[in-house]
């Protein structure tokens, strides 16, 4: 089963898990603390799923494009946006590793628990850099390096990320002002019993050329 069809299958029940709601709220709080969000900003959430994080940030931003490669996730998101009567949240079917990038440029790009599903994470970071306006911000929330027990056998993505290695990848992609904090600690029952998995939030800025935020 492909990663996309697995997410398609889980989309209808995704929001029934209170942990997913709680982690999205925690990451929204950390993003507000680490990045000077503006209600004038246009943002892209990448790997939005059912939109939990963008719903938590909906009052903080002018317009949010919510991108995901799973049609099932996007169908649930469509229903939620219509039910809430929101006109500034816009779902988009998109896989930046295979599709052409959108023409828009963003003040902010953020992503939650998606980077570990992307094989060529460095390439995605370079695409994010190019999609940001100079001076724009990136926020990545994902698993710290773990032993593979989070997804269990058969998972082909990243077993979390080493913060120093990701810092270097962000710098290589052209970002500056890189900072990490712990945004949430996810508790999960595994084959070895209950485990805790910290989630980092990495923030970084696309530099303004010719002086500015360096």
Ligand X SMILES: C[S@@+](CC[C@H](N)C(=O)[O-])C[C@H]1O[C@@H](n2cnc3c(N)ncnc32)[C@H](O)[C@@H]1O
3-state secondary structure of 75: helix
Which region among 41-49, 57-65, 145-153, 181-189 touches ligand X (by CB under 6 A)?
A: 41-49
CB of 12 to ligand X, least distance (A): 13
Q: Is 213 helix (H, G, I), strand (E, B) or coil?
A: coil
Q: Which residue has the tokens 């460095």?
A: 122
69 binds ligand X (CB under 6 A): yes
Q: Compute the least distance from the CB of residue 98 to ligand X, in Å.
A: 8
Question: Applying CB under 6 A, what is the total number of residues that bind ligand X?
Answer: 21
Assigned token pair, 72: 């099932």
How far apart, in whole angstroms, are the C-alpha atoms of residue 128 and residue 109?
7
| Three-state secondary-structure class, residue 33 | helix
- Going by C-alpha positions, the residue among 36, 60, 33 that lies closest to residue 45 is 60
The least CB distance from residue 83 to ligand X, in Å, is 18
Q: Sign of the C-alpha dihedral, residues 127, 131, 137, 141?
A: negative
Stretch that binds ligand X, among 100-108, 110-118, 172-180, 201-209 (CB under 6 A): 110-118
Report yes or no: 46 and 128 within 8 Å, Cβ to Cβ. Answer: yes
3 part of the interface to ligand X, by CB under 6 A? yes
Cβ pair 78, 93 in contact under 8 A: no
Binder among 31, 56, 68, 76 for ligand X (CB under 6 A):
68
Which of 52, 81, 138, 204 is close enough to bind ligand X by CB under 6 A? 52
Closest approach, Cβ 211 to ligand X, in A, equals 34
Q: Is 86 in the site for ligand X (CB under 6 A)?
A: no
Binding site for ligand X (CB under 6 A): 3-4, 7, 20, 24, 47-49, 52-53, 68-70, 73, 95, 97, 112-114, 117-118
């Amino acid at each position: 089963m492909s990663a996309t069809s697995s997410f398609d299958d889980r989309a209808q029940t995704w929001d029934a898990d209170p942990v997913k709601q709680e982690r999205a709220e925690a990451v929204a709080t950390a993003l507000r603390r680490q990045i000077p969000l503006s209600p004038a900003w246009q943002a892209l959430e990448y790997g939005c799923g059912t939109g939990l994080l963008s719903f938590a940030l909906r009052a903080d931003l002018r317009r949010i494009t919510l991108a995901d490669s799973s049609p099932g996730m996007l169908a649930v998101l469509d229903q939620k946006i219509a039910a809430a009567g929101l006109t500034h949240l816009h779902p988009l079917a998109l896989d930046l590793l295979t599709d052409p990038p959108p023409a828009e440029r963003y003040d902010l790009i953020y992503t939650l628990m998606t980077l570990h599903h992307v094989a060529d994470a460095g390439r995605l970071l370079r695409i994010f850099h190019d999609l940001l306006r100079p001076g724009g911000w990136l926020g990545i929330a994902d698993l710290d390096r773990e032993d593979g027990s989070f997804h269990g056998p058969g998972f082909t993505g990243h077993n979390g990320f080493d913060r120093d290695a990701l810092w270097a990848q962000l710098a290589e992609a052209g970002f500056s002002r890189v900072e990490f904090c712990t945004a949430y600690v996810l508790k999960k029952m595994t084959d070895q019993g209950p485990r805790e998995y910290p989630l980092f939030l990495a923030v970084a800025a696309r530099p303004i050329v010719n002086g500015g935020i360096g």
